[in-house]
């Protein structure tokens, strides 16, 4: 189940995608820490400073990947010189990002979009997940994720939308269920 939780790399990818500046993303991270704490990966639920610094580190990594990787050996050497073990979890950059589309969706609705909702066509959502049309398997996955991330599909913000029956080009208004 931990792959449903937010990792620093995933948060960094989302922040980068939305071109957020430092003030905005630290505010978002602060809110995630306060209100979405249970959705943070283990190790981050009790340490806000670590969360912020690790997300920033991943942002730097994503922006300067080549140089970051080229320095790994040298930094490991520095650490060894001072009797410090290399923090493998932190230096491990080959994370598998899971459920990123829905993680992003929840953050957009909750913290990024002013309107507190997100409008997406079902076709676009399927495309983002790598599919062209509905199948029972993908729909099962979508429902599971919507449930896990507390997201509700509506037509207009109020009326429930049945994703299995609507037209692919129909716009869905996603909201977060108030917990």
Contact 112, 118 (CB under 8 A): no
- The most distant pair of C-alpha atoms in the chain lies apart, rounded to whole Å, by 62
Q: How far is the CB of 176 from another protein (least distance, A)?
A: 24
Binding part of the chain for another protein, among 82-90, 95-103, 115-123, 140-148 by CB under 8 A, reads: 82-90
Lay out the sheet containing 171-176: strands in order across: 118-121, 171-176, 151-154
Contact between 134 and another protein by CB under 8 A: the answer reads no
Contact between 31 and another protein by CB under 8 A: the answer reads no
**For residue 102, which of 10, 8, 169 has the smallest C-alpha distance?**
10
Contact between 169 and another protein by CB under 8 A: the answer reads no
Contact between 81 and another protein by CB under 8 A: the answer reads yes
Contact between 97 and another protein by CB under 8 A: the answer reads no
Residue with tokens 């869905």, as numbered in its chain: 172
Contact 125, 150 (CB under 8 A): no
Which residues are at the interface with another protein (CB under 8 A)?
12, 15-16, 19-23, 26-27, 30, 48-50, 52-53, 56-57, 59-60, 62-64, 67-68, 71, 73-75, 77-82, 84-87, 90
């Amino acid at each position: 189940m931990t792959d449903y939780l937010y990792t620093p790399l995933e948060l960094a990818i989302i922040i980068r995608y939305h071109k957020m500046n430092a003030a905005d993303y630290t505010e978002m991270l602060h809110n995630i820490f306060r209100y979405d704490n249970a959705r943070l990966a283990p190790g981050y639920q009790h340490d806000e400073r670590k969360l912020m610094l690790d997300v920033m580190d991943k942002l730097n990594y994503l922006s300067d990947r080549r140089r970051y990787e080229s320095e790994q050996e040298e930094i490991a050497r520095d650490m060894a010189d001072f009797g410090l073990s290399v923090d493998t979890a932190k230096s491990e950059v080959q994370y598998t990002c899971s459920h990123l589309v829905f993680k992003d969706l929840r953050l957009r609705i909750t913290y990024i979009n002013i309107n507190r909702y997100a409008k997406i066509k079902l076709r676009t959502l399927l495309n983002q997940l790598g599919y062209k049309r509905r199948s029972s398997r993908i729909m099962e996955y979508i429902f599971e994720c919507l449930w896990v991330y507390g997201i509700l599909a509506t037509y207009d913000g109020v009326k429930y939308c049945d994703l299995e029956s609507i037209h692919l080009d129909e716009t869905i208004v996603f909201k977060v269920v108030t917990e």
